[in-house]
Structure 1
C-alpha cells in the first residue's frame, strides 16, 4: 500500500494539478544573493536590543552584516571598525530575535481551502457556532454558488456530534454546502452538494472511499480521498495567478509570526516537479517572504514504484540540496499511518471504545522499499508517524536500513505523537530526531485523554522533555493548516502543556524548559532542515531575524503567544512589515 491514501492530496490534485502543471518542469533558481560577496566592511548595521538565541552570548547591542551574513555582533566596541561610509544603519523599534523556523507545514494542500470559511474549534468553540458560521457564510453567497468551509473536527465537541446533510440542509437548500474535516480524510455535504456531485443513494462507493448511509440513505458524510474527491469534483478551478497569490499569502502569514524559513512537508503530491518549478518562478519574479525547504513526496501520480518516483525526481534535477538560498530540495517524505484524532493513527492498543488501534499504510516490505529508494539517492528521510505502533514500525525498518548509509542526514520522525522511553532511546541511537506537532496537546489533549486514547497514552503525547533526556534535538511544528503557524504559541505549549479545554496540565513530567522550547523553534528546527546557518544570531550566520515587541528569552512563557511581530528580514533585507 502507498501513503497516498492518507495524504488528502487527490482532492487538491483534481483542482490544482492542471494549473500548476501548466508552468512546466523547468527549474530555474533565482539566486538572489548571486555573487554577493562578504567583505570586512558591513553594508548593514543593526543597533538596539538584540536577543541572539546563542546561550554563550545571549544579548547584543549591535550587529554588523555583510553580504547577507553576520560579520560582527556584540557591544558597540565589538563591531567597531566594521562599518564604513556605505554602511546603512537600522535601529528597529523592538527586540531583534533570530528568525523562527517552521520545520513542517503544507503549502500545496492548503491552497485548496485557503479562502474557505474557518469552522475550527478555535473559531467555533461550540457545535452550534459551526452551524451559525455556515449560515452566515451562506447568506453572503449567491444562490447556486458553493458555500465552503474547513477545519471542522467533531472530536473537539462533546459527544462528537455528526455534521449531517439534514443539518446542512437547514443552512441552505439552494446553495451546495461542503465542509472539510480538519484531517482532510472526511467531508460533509448538504443535499444540494450531493446532487451537484452526482451522488445519490444508489451511487456505488468508489474504491477506497466511504459514502456513509443510514438505512440506505446518504447522511452527507463521506470518507477518504476517493469519496471526498467525488463530493468536491465540481468546485471552480483557480488560475495560475490565484495560486501564486495564494502561495504568497500563506508565506506572508508565516512571516507575520516571525518565521524566516520553513519546510514544505509534502512536495509533489499535486503536480510533481511543477510544484518546485512554480516556487522557483515565483521567487524569481519577486523574492518569497520566507525561505522554503521542500520534502519530496515518495508517491507521484503516474509512477508505480518508489524507485520510479526517485528516478523521476532525479531526472528533473531535483536532488538533495539542489536549488538556491530561497528554495531548496532537502528530504524524502513518506507517511506511515494516519490521524490520531481521526482514529487512523497506528497504535499498539485499540482506541477507546473500539476494537482496533488503526493501521499502517505500508506492509513491512513496502515500507523498506520506499525508505531505501530515498536513502539510495542520499535524501534525509522524513517519516510521518503518529501512533506508538507506527513509530515502532518505522523504527524497526530504520534500524535495519540506516547502518551503512550516508551519515549526517538527520533523519526525522514527524509528529512522533505517542512514544515510549525505549523508542526515544533507539531513535537517538539510530540518528533520528522527532518533530512534534506541539499544539496537539493544547487543542486535542483533552479529547485524547477522555475519548480517544485514555489518560495513560495521552500523557505520553508530544514528549519534548523526554526527547531532550534521551539526547535528541526535537523541533516543534504546526502541520499547517492542521494548526496555525504560531511558533511561539507552540513553544508556550511545550513549556506549560495546559489544555485549551479545561486548563489542566497534560503529562507534567513532559514540560520543557523555556530554553528547550525556544531551541526547538530556532536552532534545533534549523538543524533539522539542514540550515545550520540560521536559528541564532552569531558571526557567520545568515542575517535572518525578526523584530518583536518582547524578548521571549527573558519574558514569561505564559505571554509568548501575545508577542507581536513587527518585521522580518532575510539576509538583512526586509521580507515582511506589519
Structure 2
C-alpha cells in the first residue's frame, strides 16, 4: 500500500528546528533531552547501588520470545538494559533497598512491540491537515459525498478541500471527476485514497494545480488517468503526480509539525509499540535534524529508511551506522536502516503489477520502473552501503525486485536484510527465492482483515486471494517475516495484525481467507518483536527479553496465549517501557 509522496508536505518547511548548525543542533537536542520524556533514551540513567538492579518485574506472565521456554517468572533491569530473566527466586537475589519492584499483578510482559513499516511524519501531518472520510466513519459513498459537500458549504470559495482515507473497495468503487464536480465547482477538491497511491480530484483542482490536458506520464509512474475518450478523469496515481496536487496546503511551521508528530508517537506508545520504522522519508532541507530533535523526546524509538531520491541526505549520519550496523544517533532514539524504492502501486486500485490479469479483465497493473532501471537504482543503493527496501505488491513487481536485489547484492549481504514491503501476492517460488537470497518480506496483514473478501470476489478470485500475505509459506520455507500497519493506511496497533495472521479472518464477511497461510501465535508474535527488530538492524538490541538487550517492554492486561484467537486485538495495553523508563501507562 504505502506512498511516500506526502513527504512533499514538508517541501515548504526547511527544518523542524531552523537556524542551527548540525553541531549546534546536537548540543540543543542534548539539552532538550534532559527533561520529560527525553530521558527515555537521551542519557544513561544513574545506576542503582553497586551489585543491585534498578527494576524487577514479577508476579505476572512473562513471555521472553527467546529460547525454548515460553514463560519466565521475573525480569531484572539496570541502566535501561535487561540483566536477568528467569525464576522469581533467581532474579529477586539481585534486589537491594534501592530496587523498584514492579508487581505485574497477573498481567503479561512481552518484549516491546515493533511496527516495522509505517509513515510517522506523513501520518501525523495528514491526520492534522486532511479531513477523515474513511470507512470506519463513513460506511457509504453517499455519506462521504455528504461530508464533502458540508465542508464545502462552510469554506470560502476557491479554498482547497483535502480529504483522506477513502476506501474504493469498501465505499463503493473508484471516484469520478463528475461526482466531485457535483460536490463543488468552486472549491478545488482532493480525496486521497487510504492506499496512499491514488487520489481523486475535481476539475477545479486540476485547474488550480495547472495540470494541462495533454500531460504525459511522469517519472516513477506518476499518472493522471483518462477516460475512454482520452479526457482526464480525475484519478491521480503515484508520487510524481500526487505531489502536483498539494499546492493548496498551508505553510507548515516547525511547531505544527513537531506537535503533530509527537501526538502520533504518543498514540503508538499507547498501543504498546516501543519502536516504529518510517518506511520511506522524502527529505527536504534540514528535515532529518527535525526528526532527531523529536526522537530525543519521543516515547518510542524511531527508525527511518530514506527514499531513493533522498539517499544523500543520510550522509551526515553515516558514522552512526545503517542497515546491519544501525546504531542510535547520540542523545536521541533515532536510527537509520535502508533506502526505499516504490516498485508498483496498490492491488486495491489495480495499479500493482501482476503477471496474471486482475479478475474479469486484461489489466495487470504497471511497474513504476522498467526492470533495467530498477536494477540500476538498486545497484546505486548497494554501492552507497545501504540495504534496500522495495515496495512490491504484485507478483510481477516482486519478480523485478528480486532480480534487482540478486544482481546487486547476491545472497545474504553484510549490509543487512533486504526487504520486500507488503509483498502481498508473492508466489511460492518467490518465497523460496527470498529464502535463498536472505531477503525478508514485511506483510500488511490488515489486507486480509479488511479486504480478504474483496480480493477473492473482485480482484483475484479464490485461489489467488488465498495466497495473499503468504506468512504460512514463509514459516514452512524458514523465511523470517514481519507484520506492519502502514499507518495511516490502517490504524495504529499491531495486535490486530497478530490476530489476523493467526485467524486469517476477514472482518467484512467473517470468512477465512487462505487457511493454509495461517501461522501460530508464536510465529505471529515473532513478526512484531524478534524479526521486526532484525528488519530495522536492531536484532542484537531489541525484540526479545535477553540479558544485555534494551529494556523495551510491553505490558498487556491478558496473555495472548490464553484468549480466543479472535479476541487478541481486544487485549488492552497496560504499560509501555522504553530503555527501562515508563513511556505509557
- Class of the TM-score when normalised by the shorter of the 2 chains: 0.7 to 0.9
Equivalent residues in 2 for 1:409-428, closer than 5 Å: 409-428=416-435
Q: What corresponds to 2:13 in structure 1? A: 18
Q: What corresponds to 1:262 in structure 2? A: 276
> Aligned partners of 1:86 and 1:408: how far apart in 2?
43
96, 99, 112: which one aligns with 2:109: 96
Q: How has the CA–CA distance of structure 1 residues 25 and 396 changed in structure 2, closer, same or farther, with 3 Å as cutoff?
A: farther
235, 238, 241: which one aligns with 2:255: 241
Asked whether the equivalents of residues 449 and 506 of structure 2 are also in contact (C-alpha less than 8 Å), the reply is: yes
Asked whether the equivalents of residues 52 and 60 of structure 1 are also in contact (C-alpha less than 8 Å), the reply is: yes
289, 295, 298: which one aligns with 1:288: 298
Asked whether the equivalents of residues 56 and 92 of structure 2 are also in contact (C-alpha less than 8 Å), the reply is: no
Q: How has the CA–CA distance of structure 1 residues 282 and 466 changed in structure 2, closer, same or farther, with 3 Å as cutoff?
A: same
Deviations 1:477-528 (A, max 9, x none): 1111111122110111111111122111111111111111111111111122
* Paired residue secondary structure (1:18): coil
* Paired residue secondary structure (2:568): helix
Q: What corresponds to 1:125 in structure 2? A: 139
Determine if the alignment matches structure 1 residue 576 to structure 2 residue 584. yes
Deviations 1:152-179 (A, max 9, x none): 1223345x25244445644x56655431
Deviations 1:211-260 (A, max 9, x none): 65687876544444454334331221221111011111221121121100
> Aligned partners of 2:537 and 2:6: how far apart in 1?
31
Deviations 1:282-310 (A, max 9, x none): 233xx21110111122113xxxxxxxx45
Q: Count how many residue pairs are aligned between Structure 1 and Structure 2.
A: 555
Q: What corresponds to 1:298 in structure 2? A: 308
User: Which runs of no fewer than 5 residues in structure 1 stay unpaired?
Assistant: 1-5, 301-308
> Aligned partners of 1:53 and 1:530: how far apart in 2?
20
Deviations 1:72-103 (A, max 9, x none): 23333111331222222333564322210101
Determine if the alignment matches structure 1 residue 205 to structure 2 residue 215. yes
Q: How has the CA–CA distance of structure 1 residues 404 and 174 changed in structure 2, closer, same or farther, with 3 Å as cutoff?
A: closer
Asked whether the equivalents of residues 8 and 243 of structure 2 are also in contact (C-alpha less than 8 Å), the reply is: no
Q: How has the CA–CA distance of structure 1 residues 477 and 571 changed in structure 2, closer, same or farther, with 3 Å as cutoff?
A: same
Determine if the alignment matches structure 1 residue 49 to structure 2 residue 60. yes
Q: CA deviation at 1:34?
A: 4.3
53, 73, 79: which one aligns with 2:91: 79
When the two structures are superposed, what TM-score results if normalisation uses the length of structure 2?
0.86
Q: CA deviation at 1:280?
A: 1.1
> Aligned partners of 1:135 and 1:73: how far apart in 2?
58
Q: CA deviation at 1:394?
A: 1.7
* Paired residue secondary structure (1:155): coil
* Paired residue secondary structure (1:413): strand
> Aligned partners of 1:299 and 1:234: how far apart in 2?
24
* Paired residue secondary structure (1:20): coil
* Paired residue secondary structure (1:293): strand
100, 103, 109: which one aligns with 2:122: 109
Q: CA deviation at 1:330?
A: 1.6
Equivalent residues in 2 for 1:332-343, closer than 5 Å: 332-343=339-350
Determine if the alignment matches structure 1 residue 543 to structure 2 residue 551. yes
267, 271, 281: which one aligns with 2:284: 271
> Aligned partners of 2:519 and 2:558: how far apart in 1?
21
Q: What corresponds to 2:315 in structure 1? A: 314
Larger deviation, residues 13-22 vs 355-364? 13-22
Q: How has the CA–CA distance of structure 1 residues 405 and 58 changed in structure 2, closer, same or farther, with 3 Å as cutoff?
A: closer
> Aligned partners of 1:61 and 1:194: how far apart in 2?
62
Q: What corresponds to 1:3 in structure 2? A: none
Equivalent residues in 2 for 1:159-174, closer than 5 Å: 160-167=173-180, 169-170=182-183
Q: How has the CA–CA distance of structure 1 residues 430 and 194 changed in structure 2, closer, same or farther, with 3 Å as cutoff?
A: closer
Q: CA deviation at 1:278?
A: 0.9
Asked whether the equivalents of residues 393 and 423 of structure 2 are also in contact (C-alpha less than 8 Å), the reply is: yes
> Aligned partners of 1:153 and 1:8: how far apart in 2?
15
Larger deviation, residues 318-327 vs 69-78? 318-327
470, 494, 514: which one aligns with 1:507: 514
Q: RMSD in angstroms over aligned alpha carbons? A: 2.9
* Paired residue secondary structure (2:561): coil
Q: How has the CA–CA distance of structure 1 residues 433 and 447 changed in structure 2, closer, same or farther, with 3 Å as cutoff?
A: same
Asked whether the equivalents of residues 118 and 278 of structure 2 are also in contact (C-alpha less than 8 Å), the reply is: yes
Q: What corresponds to 1:331 in structure 2? A: 338
Asked whether the equivalents of residues 206 and 227 of structure 1 are also in contact (C-alpha less than 8 Å), the reply is: no
Q: CA deviation at 1:113?
A: 1.5
Q: CA deviation at 1:570?
A: 0.4
Q: How has the CA–CA distance of structure 1 residues 450 and 175 changed in structure 2, closer, same or farther, with 3 Å as cutoff?
A: same
Deviations 1:373-423 (A, max 9, x none): 222333222121211111111212323332388437122111111122221
> Aligned partners of 2:243 and 2:356: how far apart in 1?
31
Q: CA deviation at 1:16?
A: 4.0
User: Which runs of no fewer than 5 residues in structure 2 stay unpaired?
Assistant: 31-40
